[in-house]
């Protein structure tokens, strides 16, 4: 530069020797600082108008501005006009290269920080998704140390974050074996360290684990290994699914048994009537049996349909309205007085209060309770119906109590009273389908109420039906 511009002196002002073409607005250091470091700057010499310089401006750490400029030369002739030759251009500009290297390093550092932040955000998003899931996730590194476990996994196995801080695969295996149910307490049943392919375990049948602690449950586990040796485990609680399958199987077996009993009776008597001749009295008796068994069959099917309809619609077809409690009781009691049983319900004083019910559905529930009370009092015991009002858990309820003095139930029978097709009378002498109490329970719960049973074997049973009242209603 000093060779091309002999008048250039250290300490002189830039605009004294050069005309700023770009950026034309740069008059001082502050102006240069606002000018981007990657923008091109162009200067023309005032003393040698033919000389033009082009380059970049770099802002140094101390605030100074360093201009990296090179002459704009298009031929060797122009180079000689400025008194320059090839030896005046160093093959390497050490200062420039250092600055460019610094800029590259700074850019790389910025990119690395941005990438790290993106990875961190992505990791946080994935962890959040895993924590919000309902299934357990465990990840082990090739050495068997825990890399990640979500909250569901910890809850399933009764562990805390502290327990996993230094946990290894053998330690987890020992802990899980201590939780297994008796039928699966095999030392080799649960192996976390076994390598597996990334596809075989994912698409094969899951391993079923039956736990006894911290609470009984059935867990389906899948596992796979990555190429770098990490092991991933996916645990899903399938207890409800197994319970539903069990209940479905029991229900179908019970339904088939209960439906078969009257069907066998009907089939047998009709076959006898077709193949043999009977006297008028015997023939009438057999036809009455067929009629009675057919009625039982129709009632059972109707109750099954009622249960299915109520469960499938989950209250969507309920027509809830304010209804007088007295009217509900009167209609139910009046309907029971049409049977052969000459006994009547002893009705206590009924409060003059409204209740929130679907009258048709709630009358069906109360009819079932009263019918059961009569059926299970074969010795002619008294059946009473009383009512009252109570506030519980911030809600007002009308409470109906149906009490009989019949055969009662043992604690074991009481625990199963609401199961479908369950009947406390195993002899079959008492008519019924075993569906009545299940129907009462469904109806009560859909009304946001409940039904309770209290019974002592040989002394009778008390059924309590809680029915919601409108807010602000007087408690009797």
pLDDT the model gives residue 402:
93
**DSSP annotation of 206:** P
In tens, the pLDDT along 157-178 reads 888 888 877 788 888 888 888 8
What average pLDDT score do residues 42-55 get?
Answer: 81
Helix (H) or strand (E) holding 201: helix 200-203
Q: How confident is the model at residue 200 (pLDDT cuts 50, 70, 90)?
A: very low
Q: Where are the domains of the chain?
A: 14-89, 133-237, 248-313, 314-476
Edge-to-edge, what's the strand order for the sheet holding 136-140? 146-149, 136-140, 231-237, 217-225, 207-211
Q: How confident is the model at residue 299 (pLDDT cuts 50, 70, 90)?
A: confident
Q: How confident is the model at residue 438 (pLDDT cuts 50, 70, 90)?
A: confident
Fold of domain 248-313: Helix Hairpins (1.10.287)
Q: Is the pLDDT of residue 112 over 80?
A: yes
CATH class of 133-237: alpha beta
Q: Is the pLDDT of residue 87 over 70?
A: no
Q: What is the mean pLDDT of the chain?
A: 79
426 C-beta neighbours (distance < 10 Å), count: 8
Q: How confident is the model at residue 101 (pLDDT cuts 50, 70, 90)?
A: low
What torsion do the CA atoms of 429, 435, 439, 441 make, to the nearest 10 degrees?
Answer: 80
Of 341, 349, 383, whose CA–CA distance to 366 is shortest?
383
What torsion do the CA atoms of 312, 442, 321, 317 make, to the nearest 10 degrees?
Answer: 10
How far is the C-alpha of 21 from the C-alpha of 6, rounded, in Å? 21
What torsion do the CA atoms of 91, 95, 99, 100 make, to the nearest 10 degrees?
Answer: 0
In tens, the pLDDT along 260-287 reads 878 888 888 899 889 888 889 988 988 9
End-to-end CA distance of the chain: 109
How far is the C-alpha of 259 from the C-alpha of 435, rounded, in Å? 12
pTM: 0.47
Strands 146-149 and 321-324: unpaired
DSSP for 81-149 reads HTT--GGGS-S--HHHHHHHHHHHHHHHHHHHHHHHHHHHHHHHHHHHHHHHSSSEEEEE-TTSBEEEE
In tens, the pLDDT along 341-389 reads 566 788 888 999 999 998 888 988 898 898 888 888 766 678 899 999 9
> What are the tokens at 189?
């049943």
pLDDT the model gives residue 338:
47
Residue 127, CA distances (Å) to 132, 137, 138, 164, 230 in order: 9, 10, 12, 16, 17
What are all long-range contacts of 370-373, with beta carbons under 8 Å and residues at least 24 apart? 370/332, 370/333, 370/336, 370/345, 370/402, 371/336, 371/436, 372/404, 372/432, 372/436, 372/437, 372/461, 372/463, 373/402, 373/403, 373/404, 373/406, 373/461, 373/463
Contact 406, 460 (CB under 8 A): yes
How far is the C-alpha of 198 from the C-alpha of 202, rounded, in Å? 7
Q: Measured in whole angstroms, how far is the alpha carbon of residue 317 from the centre of its chain?
A: 27
CATH class of 314-476: alpha beta
Query: Can 248-313 and 314-476 be said to share one CATH topology?
Result: no
């Amino acid at each position: 530069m000093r060779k091309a511009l002999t008048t250039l002196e250290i300490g002189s002002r830039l605009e004294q020797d050069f005309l700023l073409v770009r950026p034309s607005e740069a008059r001082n250091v502050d102006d240069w600082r606002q000018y981007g470091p990657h923008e091109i700057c162009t200067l023309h010499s005032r003393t040698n108008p033919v000389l033009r310089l082009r380059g970049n401006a770099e802002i140094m750490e101390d605030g100074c501005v360093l201009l990296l400029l090179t002459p704009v030369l298009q031929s060797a002739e122009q180079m000689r006009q400025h008194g320059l030759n090839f030896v005046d251009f160093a093959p390497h500009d050490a200062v420039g290269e250092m600055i460019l290297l610094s800029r590259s390093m700074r850019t790389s550092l910025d990119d690395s920080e941005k990438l790290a932040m993106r990875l961190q955000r992505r990791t946080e998003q994935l962890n959040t998704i895993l924590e919000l899931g309902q299934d357990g996730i465990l990840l082990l590194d090739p050495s068997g140390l825990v890399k990640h476990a979500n909250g569901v996994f910890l809850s399933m196995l009764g562990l805390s974050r502290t327990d996993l801080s230094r946990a290894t695969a053998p330690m987890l295996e020992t802990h899980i074996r201590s939780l297994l149910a008796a039928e699966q307490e095999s030392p080799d049943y649960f192996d976390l360290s076994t390598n597996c392919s990334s596809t075989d375990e994912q698409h094969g049948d899951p391993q079923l684990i039956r736990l006894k602690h911290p609470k009984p449950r059935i867990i389906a586990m899948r596992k796979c290994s990555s190429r770098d040796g990490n092991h991933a485990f996916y645990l899903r609680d399938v207890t409800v699914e197994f319970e539903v399958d069990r209940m479905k199987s029991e229900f179908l077996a019970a339904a088939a048994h209960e439906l078969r009993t009257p069907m066998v009776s009907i089939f047998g008597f009709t076959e006898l009537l077709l193949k043999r001749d009977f006297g008028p009295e015997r023939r009438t008796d057999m036809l009455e049996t067929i009629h009675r068994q057919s009625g039982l069959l129709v009632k059972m099917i109707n109750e099954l349909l009622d249960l299915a309809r109520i469960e499938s619609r989950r209250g969507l077809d309920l027509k809830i309205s304010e209804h007088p409690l007295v009217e509900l009781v009167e209609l139910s009691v009046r309907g029971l007085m049409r049977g052969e049983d000459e006994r009547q319900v002893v009705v206590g004083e009924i409060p003059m209060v409204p209740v929130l019910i679907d009258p048709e559905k709630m009358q069906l529930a109360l009819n079932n309770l009263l019918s059961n009370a009569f059926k299970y009092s074969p010795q002619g015991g008294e059946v009473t119906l009383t009512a009252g009002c109570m506030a519980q858990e911030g809600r007002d309820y009308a409470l109906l109590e149906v009490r009989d003095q019949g055969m009662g139930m043992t604690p074991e029978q009481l625990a199963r009273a609401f199961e479908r097709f369950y009947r406390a009378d195993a002899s079959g002498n008492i008519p019924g389908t075993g569906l009545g109490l299940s129907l009462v329970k469904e109806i009560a719960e859909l009304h946001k109420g409940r039904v309770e049973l209290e019974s002592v074997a040989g002394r009778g049973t008390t059924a309590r039906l809680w029915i919601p009242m409108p807010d602000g209603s007087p408690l009797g």
